[in-house]
Amino acid sequence: MKKFTTKIITLLGLAVFLAVLLDLAYTTIFVYGFNRTKVDAVFHGKKEQYDVVMLGSSRANNHFVPSLFEEKGLKTFNYGMSGGHLFEADLMLKLMLERKYQIKTVLLEADLNLSNDQRAEGIASKFLPYLHSSKVIQQQFQNEADYNYLYYIPFYRYIEYDAQIGFREVYKKIKEEKTNQFNNQGYYPLGVKPNASMKNNISKLKPLQNHYYESIKRLCNQHNIRLITVMTPMCANTIGMEYFEKVQKLYPEIYNYENAVTDDNYFSSCGHLNDAGAKLFTARILKDFF
């Protein structure tokens, strides 16, 4: 029995040692490695200067065209993240400020994402390799239910989010395999989809007094950053358009552009403009605010 117990303790000790070793190896590759995501680029960035930083979900990533701002002499980057929530937009801004970014204006998309104050698991996981290397990332996750597992258990976060930050991603970072995240100053243009359904139903969505939007407002106020928050276009055949009116009642400072583009020819899907539609919409934003 004593030998069996000793063997079990030895195996457990070996497992912990391997977990610590793997955690250290993976984290080192992320902290000192090749930038593949927007999160990587901001973590490794220092004292960048921008006239305009764009934040939000795919409805920012696919809708705000930085090149049109650049044509007017405004240094701009689209840090919108497809699938992201305001949790990640807030954390991205915090990370930029921690890295001493100088930002004049934040252009934020806040519409459908106001109905959710949870983190987007797949997108939030992109920050986890830096959990022990950034105070703002650590603080953002501190109130999450799985924080103790993520922070204290070696290699847990890499196993739990293997698809996002596991072996395959580490291998691609070692190979310095590029992604398309930095093309077009971060903007991801969508094409025309002839058979796309131009129908949507958002009638069950309800805007919340969103903690992360409130945080973004506070950060911008504290750092003298001009904050422009907008709702971006939806196709005309959407059930529940009163959602946008509810947003404006809750947050009067948010500009409603849900009907700024209405022709289906400018949409790739009901909730996302194609490249031509995005340029049309961005031109309107430039005209109204810049």
Longest dimension (CA), the chain: 79
At 95-111, the pLDDT tens digits run 999 999 999 999 999 99
Closest CA to 223 of 106, 108, 107, 73: 106
Distant-in-sequence, close-in-space partners of 98: CB < 8 Å, separation ≥ 6: 134, 135, 136
Q: Which of 5-9, 199-203, 264-268 has the lowest mean pLDDT?
A: 5-9
- Mean of the pLDDT values across residues 214-233? 98
- Count Cβ neighbours within 10 Å for each residue of 172-185 and write b for 16 or more, e otherwise: ebeeeeeeebeeeb
Is residue 120 within a helix (H) or strand (E), and if so which, with residue range? Answer: none
In the prediction, which pLDDT does 7 show? 66
Q: Which residue has the higher pLDDT, 203 or 13?
A: 203
Cβ atoms of 269 and 196 within 8 Å: the answer is yes
Q: Which of 3-12, 189-198, 258-267 has the lowest mean pLDDT?
A: 3-12
Q: Is the per-residue pLDDT at 289 higher than 70?
A: yes
In the prediction, which pLDDT does 198 show? 82
- Mean of the pLDDT values across residues 24-49? 96
What pTM was estimated for this model as a whole?
A: 0.94
Q: Which of 10-14, 40-44, 88-92 has the lowest mean pLDDT?
A: 10-14
In the prediction, which pLDDT does 196 show? 76
Distant-in-sequence, close-in-space partners of 276: CB < 8 Å, separation ≥ 6: 192, 265, 266
Is residue 126 very low, low, confident or very high in pLDDT (cuts 50, 70, 90)?
very high
Report the chain's mean pLDDT, rounded to a whole number.
Answer: 94
In the prediction, which pLDDT does 17 show? 80
In the prediction, which pLDDT does 11 show? 65
Which fold would CATH assign to domain 36-120+139-145+180-289?
Rossmann fold (3.40.50)
At 226-257, the pLDDT tens digits run 999 999 999 999 999 999 999 999 999 999 99
In the prediction, which pLDDT does 10 show? 67
Cβ atoms of 2 and 136 within 8 Å: the answer is no
Q: Is the per-residue pLDDT at 80 higher than 70?
A: yes
In the prediction, which pLDDT does 280 show? 97
Is residue 2 very low, low, confident or very high in pLDDT (cuts 50, 70, 90)?
low
Distances (CA, A) of 214 to 54, 176, 265: 17, 37, 35
Task: Tell me how far apart the alpha carbons of residues 103 and 75 are, in angstroms, rounded to a whole number.
Answer: 10
User: What are the residue boundaries of the structural domains of the chain, listed by start?
Assistant: 36-120+139-145+180-289
Question: What token pair was written down for 138?
Answer: 């650590």
